[in-house]
Amino acid sequence: MQENIELQPKKDYHEPMHTAEHILNQTMVRMFGCKRSVNAHIERKKSKADYFLTECPSDEQMKEVESRVNEIIDKHLDITESMMSRDEAQKVLDLAKLPDDAGDLLRVVYVGDYDACACIGHHVKNTSEIGRFVLLNYDFNEGRLRIRFKLQ
């Protein structure tokens, strides 16, 4: 049985933007019942994330997504992490995007009690470090919703 003992994150995302993506993912899951983003491109200036939905959200729903993400950011939640076995994690987390070679010990990142996700990226220590989430635009094509966003 292979065990992943490296505790440091491997990806070099922009910490505030990557943490905002976690909050956006959980917001989408809660509002639309979809899975976390199927594809994301996280950059310092602007980012994008794709979700599969059965229909295009209304402009009002997308404004609500932006509002809810900012409500969570404004709660000044601590970002914490813990190590968890793959077996334990699969009981409480969606591990569909986890690579097969991720090992048996996973790093789980928590945004307060709002989100938990197996992740190797860098994050801020508290949501107060993120700034304001701004939904730039979105498009819907053949079941894929692409959201473009930035932080201010």
37-66 tens-digit pLDDT: 999 999 999 999 999 999 999 999 999 999
Q: What pLDDT was estimated at residue 44?
A: 92
Tokens 């976390």 correspond to 36
How far apart CA 124 and CA 140 sit, in angstroms, is: 30
Residues in the chain predicted with pLDDT less than 70, given as ranges, are 1-13
How far from 72 is each of 43, 82, 132, CA to CA, in Å? 21, 21, 11
* Model pLDDT, residue 13: 62
Q: Where are the domains of the chain?
A: 15-151
Report the C-alpha gap between 130 and 22 in whole angstroms. 12
What fold, for 15-151? Threonyl-tRNA Synthetase; Chain A, domain 2 (3.30.980)
Q: Supply the pLDDT for residue 59.
A: 98
Please report the pLDDT score of residue 99 as a whole number. Answer: 86
Does pTM surpass 0.85?
yes
